[in-house]
Amino acid sequence: MTLNLAIMIPFLVAAIIPFIYKKLTRIHIGWFVFAVSLLLFIYLIRYVPSIANGETYINIVEWIPSIGINFTTYLDGLSMIFGLLITGIGALVILYSIYYFDLDEDLHSFYMYLLIFMGGMLGVVFSDNLMVLYLFWELTSISSFLLIAFWFHRKQSRYGAQKSFLITVGGGIAMLVGFIMLYVMTGTFSIQEILPLVSELPAHELFIPAMILILLGAFTKSAQFPFHIWLPDAMEAPTPVSAYLHSATMVKAGIYLVARFTPIFGGGEIWFWLVTGVGMVTMIWGSFNAIRQTDLKALLAYSTISQLGLIMSLFGMGSAALYYGYSADSVFYTQATFAALFHLVNHSTFKGALFMVIGIIDHEVGTRDIRKLGGLMAFMPVTFTIALIGSFSMAGLPLFNGFLSKEMFFTAVINISQLDIFSLNSLGVLFPVVAWIASVFTFIYSLIIVFKTFFGPYQEEKLEHEAAEPPIGMMISPGILAVLVVLIFFFPNVIGYYLLNPAMGSVYPGFGTTVDLGQNITAWHGFNTELWMTIGVVITGVILYLLLRYWKGIFKLFPDKWTFNTLYDYSLTQIESSSTAITKTYMTGVLRDYFLYIYIFFVGIIGITLFYTGAFSFDMSNDVPISIYEWIMVVVMMVAGIAILFAKSRLTAIVLNGVLGYSISVLFVLFRAPDLALTQIVVETITTVLFLLCFYFLPEWKKESNGVKTKTVNLLISISVGLTFVLVALSVQHNKLFETISGFFEDAYELAGGRNIVNAILGDFRALDTMLEVVVLLIAGIGVYSLIKLKAKKGGPNSEN
């Protein structure tokens, strides 16, 4: 099985789910989907030893080779990490969802969306072609929209889905423009083919615009400030969606993009400050806002924003190594990237476990409101243990994997602050300060999760259900993640050797041939600055947590009306009201007005432009003379056309319209095109019959009495349009800039095996166009069928008006 096929398997399974889910009466459809994800995970595991030895795999399937777009997959250390997270965490989330959802939910749709998302994410991380990467990138936005809006009867679910879609797709479009600019600079869509050209790119005028646009795509997808606002609202999605999309996969897509493009854009001051600065601001803003949340899921949302900012800033700091080139001196600064990759893995484990724990609490007691929770440790000891492990790992305490990567983070900010490049000799001192403050906030909200939820008085009267442990099946996935949190702490170099070190070679291609990028992870480094920073975080965090009620009023300094959410809502409202006002100016409901706009636009754009450019020119001296029969038919058509304007009944107007159609068929005969004449006769006959049938049921026709002004305008527009068409036709006929293509089609029999040229053109030469026209009709037919046959569900369990 090739990597291309592995990417397509989730899509193929998603396509057959609607046809098989009703037949799986004895087995939950989730088990079928779980097997798919697990098999893909096992398939990728097979490559880990060879990837660890420095091998890479590339597979090319030609798609549109004429413009350089091929379905090219590339497997290396960086894509391997993300591939294992997508399939591994995906399998655990699917297992968790089997016990989370009620059987009366629309499960087949859920798993279909989830598989489409999984395939899209695999396509993003394994695609080497920029256009294919973008295709999968937007596919993840569409599928995440469907997953977030899974409970579509909830107003907030629809709002959150729309918000995430608009922001991420907007960033994706910016990224697409950046990709096109990169193609203009390099002449290739292949990332691996771009890498050898990186030394030439900074001098190009499109280098910085392409960089900024690509970063916009990364920042919007990974919820970086100020685009972070979509992530908290996306928490209206079911918990399995949050655990998968918003902790381990979708929000990491932007991180992947930054890591993949670091060797292309990294080493420069703009990339360094944009990635590092945005990451730092996101980290401290997310951790600060997490403390004020009263909903556990919202708290985790802002926590995720903060952690994503941490990882993003580390990749930005690590890009400084490229400034020094491929030398031993630069290895010192690659530690930040190593910490980013390590925390990427750690975050997926402890945050995935925490999301599932919050889902368990909501599932069992019916609320996530911290103000209603407390004392759950006595009733849910296993859930408490997993929450404790996940929270303390997130807080960066020893015995948990988060401690190791957090210490590396402190090391990175200290090292970077000592650099004498990019103005770091003056601004670099802010890095350790911001990192330490954000870590204090992280410690505080980690304590809130543990102590506000599981300690204190048990408030049974505020809960919808009595607290109890969930079914054992729901505990397996978060339990496995909690075990991994502890195991990684004691055996970190297993991941370091097999996953992190190979990924370092992907972020710094070429370094491995000159310097050793491998790093050894240890838990104890003595009483160094990083450890004292951690001790300070713990002491300060405990004190601030105990005094929380005294200083929490500081959040009132940031009222809701001055937030980016308010700006987003206001912008949408203004856009909607403005578009409504503009639309009302031309959507009058009068068909004549719409034709008027079309004709004026046509005459203005075509007629005036062609006259201004001198394109209207023709010579009729060499034309074939017009025969008497042709003159007769033209006069008949003119008389019929003018007579329609004065017809006093619908029947008369229909007959005259038919005269026009049949006259054209006679002209086709005179021009020796009998096949077109027959087609015209058939179409005209059917059209006339349909007109007669439709008008038969219409009320009595009362002819409008238009004023002189309206009639004058109509006359001028009619003459202008007719004259423009005639002049365009004459100009086209007498100004042939290129050799006619008709000579090519005359060989239709030899080229396509068709004796009828028209049929050969429709069925062979422009077969793709014809097929797409049929597809459009098919889609329209499905839409009509859906409107007629399908009925919306009403009165759902959580429906809102």
Alpha carbons 173 and 138: distance in angstroms, whole number: 9
Task: Write the single-letter amino acid at 94.
Answer: I
What are all long-range contacts of 25-34, with beta carbons under 8 Å and residues at least 24 apart?
28/98, 28/107, 29/107, 29/108, 29/111, 30/94, 30/95, 30/97, 30/98, 30/107, 30/111, 31/98, 33/94, 33/111, 33/114, 33/115, 34/91, 34/94, 34/95, 34/98
Contact status, residue 525 vs residue 406, Cβ threshold 8 Å? no
Give the three-state DSSP class for 101. coil
**Enclosing H/E stretch for 155:** helix 155-186
Which residues are bridge partners to 369 per DSSP? Answer: 295
Would you say 353 and 242 are in contact if contact means Cβ atoms under 8 Å apart? no
Q: How far apart are CA 229 and CA 167, in angstroms?
A: 9
Q: Is the peptide bond before 226 cis (omega within 30 degrees of 0)?
A: yes
Tokens of 404: 């190791």
Given a contact cutoff of 8 angstroms between Cβ atoms, the answer to whether 545 and 444 are in contact is: yes
Listed in sequence order, the DSSP H helices in 319-450 are: 328-331, 335-365, 381-395, 401-417, 424-427, 430-447
* Cα–Cα distance, 720 to 276 (Å, whole number): 60
Q: Which residues of the chain have pLDDT under 50?
A: 513-514, 795-801
Residue-wise over 342-352: b if at least 16 C-beta within 10 A, else e? bbbbbbbbbbb
Torsional class of 753: left (φ above 0), alpha (ψ -120 to 50), beta (otherwise): left
What per-residue confidence (pLDDT) applies to 326? 61
| Strand residue runs (E) in 68-130 | 69-75
- Give the span between the Cα atoms of 522 and 383, in whole angstroms: 29
| CA gap 275, 218 in Å, rounded | 10
Single-letter code of the amino acid located at 725: F
SS3 state at 129: strand
Q: What are phi and psi of 144, to 5 degrees?
A: -65, -35
Phi, psi at 398, each rounded to 5° = -60, 160
Burial class of residue 709 in the structure, from the number of CB atoms within 10 Å of its CB (0-12 exposed, 13-18 middle, 19+ buried): exposed
Could you tell me the sign of the dihedral formed by the alpha carbons of 173, 505, 190, 81, in that order? Answer: negative
Cβ neighbours of residue 746 closer than 8 Å, sequence gap 6 or more? 757
Spatial distance between the Cα atoms of 439 and 191, rounded to a whole number of angstroms: 36
Contact partners, residue 68, CB within 8 Å, separation at least 6: 129, 183, 188, 189, 190
pLDDT tens-digit readout, 259-297: 999 999 998 999 999 999 999 999 999 999 999 999 999
Please state, as a whole number, how many other Cβ atoms lie within 10 Å of the Cβ of residue 767: 13
